[in-house]
Structure 1
Amino acid sequence: MSAPTHRKTLRWQIARVLSVRDETPSARTFRLALPDPRPHLAGQHYVVRLTAPDGYTASRAYSIASAPSGDPEIELTVERLPDGEVSEFLHDVVEIGDELEVRGPIGGGFFAWPGDTPALLVGGGSGVVPLMAMLRHARSIGRPDLVRLVVSARTEADLYYAAELPGPETTVVLTRSGRGRLTAADLAPLVRGGEDVFVCGSPAFCDTVTDLLAAVGVPVASIRTERFGPSA
């Protein structure tokens, strides 16, 4: 597997905002049209850069939520964080028709799924975003059987892509519904053996899930983690 790492992925381009929709009370998806479309792999990200009139810049990386398709449009899902320079601007100011400076796709093959091998995906909170690109890719090519996705969210209101997630290949664990946190018992039935495992979420979530997977017999070498810090 090789990711598209040609030099033009490092060049900034101006993307136009085609649509904006709410995923949760604190997360919003932006659909962007790229003047210079670049192929991406499920699991990669784009950097969004804002420039103030005085020249000050702020940039943050956001995972691509849309499936690889060759389409000149991508979707980025952004969580609004208090006092976040970029996320607050995107949520409070950006409207359809606005332009954003972006660069990408970025990210090597380590946390990118090629779409032709079995994969177990485990996401916590906003960590589901790159995994959603993988699920969408599997469904778009008619191979949803390749993936099994487990999503952990606090409540139903906190669940990203709630209308699109349901399917025989997905499991949702709501940790504040009285049933508690994700457990080894949730993961064990989904492990087939030999698959790549992609885990994305907070550092604590990734560490916990890695331990749970190891406890049910998943080789640590097959576990790929993407730890999300605050992308304000």
Structure 2
Amino acid sequence: MATASTWQTGVVTAIGAETPHAKTFRLRLAEPRTHRAGQFYVVRLTAPDGYHAQRDYSVANAPGGDDIELTVEKLPDGEVSAFLHNDVEVGDVLQVRGPIGRFFSWDGATPIVGVAGGSGVVPLMSMLRLARRADRADLMRLIVSVRSPEELYYADEIAGPETTVVYTRRALERSSRPVGRLTVEDLAPLVEGDREVYVCGSQGFCDTATSLLLGAGVETKRIRVSRFGPTA
């Protein structure tokens, strides 16, 4: 029986484009395990000569069911992400291990705020989907910082009264907020009370967002951070 620490197989059942540089891969696991919103799986590739390459990818779908959805950004010189984007097709089998990451996970019961930079929205989307599925969208507030509309993940789904999108370089014509980086003023209305805050993105984004949250009066103990590296 598969556990979070053992490898198992997942059959690719669907592939969908999120942005020009990101795709979501749906995998049907041989031995499904229920993940918590915010957790991730490790994907491992094995070359004919036995060489292994593996990377961590957050789960985008809400917990439950036999499938997991992993949204992968194709990065320059990324071994695993480039292979997934260029070579993997529906019906292919991948090796995966998980779910992992209890600290940055949510049980769907307590009010939270999600702060995402770019592809850091993936684990927070799992949380948002969980809240909406339970008809408790009020439990989660989500703010996403992204360069332009073309780079917004889940663009057809993410909009709602509980979400805010901050465009840093180019915005939609109907956007009421001027283009610019995330500010304390963007965050302050979302973080009142004792909501825990989940921050996910690049090292630089997470550092900046954490500083802004502290400036908005959020206690350090209420902030959970998940940073991702430059290669994948």
What TM-score do you get using the length of structure 1 for normalisation? Answer: 0.95
Q: Residues 23-48 of structure 1, C-alpha deviation per residue, up to 9 Å, x if partnerless? A: 00110000000010001101110000
What residue in structure 2 maps to residue 189 of structure 1? Answer: 189
Q: Is the 8 A contact 1:19 1:31 kept in 2?
A: yes
Alpha-carbon distance between aligned partners in 2 of 1:116 and 1:43, rounded to the nearest angstrom: 14
Q: Does 1:78 align with 2:45?
A: no
DSSP 3-state at the match of 1:100: strand
- Decide which moves more: 54-63 or 176-185: 176-185
DSSP 3-state at the match of 1:179: coil
Alpha-carbon distance between aligned partners in 2 of 1:223 and 1:8, rounded to the nearest angstrom: 29
Q: Residues 179-206 of structure 1, C-alpha deviation per residue, up to 9 Å, x if partnerless? A: 2101111111112310110000011111
CA RMSD of aligned residues (A): 1.2
Q: Does 1:201 align with 2:196?
A: no
Alpha-carbon distance between aligned partners in 1 of 2:134 and 2:66, rounded to the nearest angstrom: 18
Q: Percent identity?
A: 61
What is the 5 A alignment of 1:146-157? 146-157=139-150
What residue in structure 1 maps to residue 168 of structure 2? Answer: 175
What residue in structure 2 maps to residue 65 of structure 1? Answer: 60
What residue in structure 2 maps to residue 119 of structure 1? Answer: 112
DSSP 3-state at the match of 1:41: coil
- Once the 2 structures are TM-superposed, how far is the Cα of residue 14 of structure 1 from its aligned partner? 0.9
- Once the 2 structures are TM-superposed, how far is the Cα of residue 230 of structure 1 from its aligned partner? 2.4
Q: Count residues in correspondence.
A: 225
Q: Residues 112-146 of structure 1, C-alpha deviation per residue, up to 9 Å, x if partnerless? A: 11100000000000100000000001001111000
DSSP 3-state at the match of 2:144: strand
Aligned AA for 2:109? D
What residue in structure 1 maps to residue 226 of structure 2? Answer: 226
Aligned AA for 2:52? T
What residue in structure 2 maps to residue 3 of structure 1? Answer: none
Alpha-carbon distance between aligned partners in 2 of 1:84 and 1:191, rounded to the nearest angstrom: 36
Q: Is the 8 A contact 1:61 1:231 kept in 2?
A: no
What residue in structure 2 maps to residue 164 of structure 1? Answer: 157
Alpha-carbon distance between aligned partners in 1 of 2:203 and 2:51, rounded to the nearest angstrom: 30
Counterpart of 2:26 (choices 28, 31, 49) is 31
DSSP 3-state at the match of 2:3: helix
What residue in structure 2 maps to residue 102 of structure 1? Answer: 96
Structure 1 unaligned blocks of 5 or more: 1-5
- Once the 2 structures are TM-superposed, how far is the Cα of residue 11 of structure 1 from its aligned partner? 1.0
- Once the 2 structures are TM-superposed, how far is the Cα of residue 7 of structure 1 from its aligned partner? 7.4
Structure 2 unaligned blocks of 5 or more: 171-177
Alpha-carbon distance between aligned partners in 2 of 1:100 and 1:227, rounded to the nearest angstrom: 25
Alpha-carbon distance between aligned partners in 1 of 2:179 and 2:43, rounded to the nearest angstrom: 37
What residue in structure 1 maps to residue 51 of structure 2? Answer: 56
What residue in structure 1 maps to residue 175 of structure 2? Answer: none
Alpha-carbon distance between aligned partners in 1 of 2:214 and 2:230, rounded to the nearest angstrom: 27
Aligned AA for 2:124? L
Q: Does 1:128 align with 2:121?
A: yes
Q: Does 1:214 align with 2:214?
A: yes
